[in-house]
A and B are shown apart, each in its own frame.
Chain A
């Protein structure tokens, strides 16, 4: 981060937070969490697990098929890029589709 300088308040706060964390404490018998890969933010807003790749950057942790978990992407607006937005614009998108894995043909068509 030495080659970057914060230019606004938010950036300064991030810089202060990172500086305040300091080095890891040295402890015994700890159960370290494996370091997660850095997946670039871009076409998706979140990776936990993601739509195209999971939070580990692979595909093994995805719901299979993806329709198994479609309502959590839709109802909570977790992936508003990939599925319609339940809260504001498309509240009836899946109203005729109780189990999207089986009856995905009943999903409504959304026109932008």
Chain B
């Protein structure tokens, strides 16, 4: 607990204050819908059909007017207008099935091209999407799989306009390091790839201009360090805030904390929270910026135990813990007003917990599997 005393007050400073009203949750749902859920009513209010199939990831534009949806069926991208719920644009990058069948029937050497994307991020203008991808070319008698590549997708021309092979250092890193989170600088000039190190690329030519190894930084005193998912609720413009695991070089003790990476100055700071549990499911900060929540998981399989933890940020203390029946796998989120905690996926329903008491309140039936596309909270 001592580590908490010296830890996370600074997080409160970065939080944005929102009103206490309930908001709207937007899920990517099976088989091909964007589901709009009203928190106040506790009901689905709209299901927007997606032309391009199963939603795989959602991303809200900087001005919160559009949602960029990537789909898994045919490497599709669909842009949805938040105000009208209408599709503004959609396209698929894979070779259409009909063209593939025709090419195969005509015995062409190149039958089709398919892609697999990761880490999609849209630039501030909303025109270009940056991602890492693998291209698979289907021939008459073989598949040819490309090296991992950085790619730029023009959302107006509806095609991949530039690619560049991921450097060997990242392509061969343990756990396919190129399949990770990407972020863009505010001016769109630099692309950042986060994992055990930060790789900085120039968006003009997709060449690496810098590699910042956290473990080798003299200031960090870390043996190993890994970025987790971004903490959007306490991120400021020009900053990537993430859960962060670090290991010291002497006794290899794993410590969990918050890493802040300034995208322009490339300065990194780490605020330790405490010993790293076996698994920690994200960190959700309430809109007041004073309270944060996480799910801590210990044990495996039948012995797995899950707890909701509540942190008080100004005093750096863990205020409460409560065990709950955890699912085999799940996602964790917080309501727009910070008063409810959500556990959902892999399934069609969502468990709602009261953020103050950490007690189960109700189960919301979404009536569609929401395992894939992540959730957007509109305030």
Residues of A at the B interface (CB closer than 8 Å) are 25, 27-31, 33-34, 36, 49, 54-56, 58, 60-64, 68-72, 75-76, 86, 91, 94-102
A101 B301 Cβ-Cβ under 8 A: no
B31 A69 Cβ-Cβ under 8 A: no
CA distance A94 to B369 in the complex (A): 11
Most buried by A among B33, B251, B276: B251
For residue B368, CB closer than 8 A to chain A, the reply is: yes
Listed A/B pairs (27) with beta-carbon separation below 8 Å:
A27-B251, A28-B251, A31-B254, A31-B275, A36-B300, A49-B328, A55-B301, A61-B328, A63-B328, A63-B329, A63-B346, A64-B328, A68-B347, A69-B346, A70-B369, A71-B346, A71-B372, A72-B371, A75-B54, A86-B73, A94-B30, A96-B31, A98-B29, A99-B30, A99-B366, A100-B369, A102-B348
On chain B, the residues within 8 Å of A54 by CB distance are 301, 328
CA distance A102 to B372 in the complex (A): 18
CA distance A49 to B254 in the complex (A): 26
Q: Contact mask B5-41 → A, CB, 8 Å, 1/0?
A: 0000000000000000000000001111100000000
On chain A, the residues within 8 Å of B348 by CB distance are 68, 98-99, 101-102
On chain B, the residues within 8 Å of A25 by CB distance are 252
> Given the interface contacts A61-B301, A63-B328, A69-B347, does A97 sit within 8 Å of B371 by beta carbon?
no
Q: How far is the CB of B367 from chain A (nearest CB, A)?
A: 6
A61 B29 Cβ-Cβ under 8 A: no
CA distance A88 to B20 in the complex (A): 47
On chain B, the residues within 8 Å of A64 by CB distance are 328
B346 A95 Cβ-Cβ under 8 A: no
B72 A58 Cβ-Cβ under 8 A: no
Interface contact tally, CB-CB below 8 A:
95
Q: How far is the CB of B378 from chain A (nearest CB, A)?
A: 22
A98 B301 Cβ-Cβ under 8 A: no
For residue B302, CB closer than 8 A to chain A, the reply is: yes
Find the B residue at minimum CB distance from A48.
Answer: B329
Contact check: which of A27, A31, A98 meets B369 at CB < 8 Å? A98
Chain B contributes a number of interface residues (CB within 8 A of A) equal to 32
On chain A, the residues within 8 Å of B371 by CB distance are 69, 71-72
Contact check: which of A34, A61, A70, A75 meets B302 at CB < 8 Å? A61
CA distance A55 to B203 in the complex (A): 41
On chain A, the residues within 8 Å of B347 by CB distance are 68-69, 99, 101
Q: How far is the CB of B137 from chain A (nearest CB, A)?
A: 15
Contact check: which of B31, B253, B304 meets A94 at CB < 8 Å? B31
> Given the interface contacts A27-B252, A63-B346, A75-B372, does A97 sit within 8 Å of B31 by beta carbon?
yes
On chain A, the residues within 8 Å of B300 by CB distance are 34, 36, 55-56, 61
A29 B346 Cβ-Cβ under 8 A: no
On chain B, the residues within 8 Å of A72 by CB distance are 346, 371-372
CA distance A86 to B32 in the complex (A): 14
B251 A49 Cβ-Cβ under 8 A: no
On chain A, the residues within 8 Å of B369 by CB distance are 70-71, 98-100
On chain A, the residues within 8 Å of B254 by CB distance are 31
Contact check: which of A36, A63, A75, A101 meets B72 at CB < 8 Å? A75
Q: How far is the CB of B249 from chain A (nearest CB, A)?
A: 11
On chain A, the residues within 8 Å of B346 by CB distance are 63, 68-69, 71-72
Find the B residue at minimum CB distance from A30.
Answer: B252
Query: Closest 10 A-B residue pairs measured CB to CB?
Result: A60-B302, A61-B301, A99-B348, A98-B368, A56-B301, A69-B346, A68-B347, A27-B252, A28-B251, A63-B328
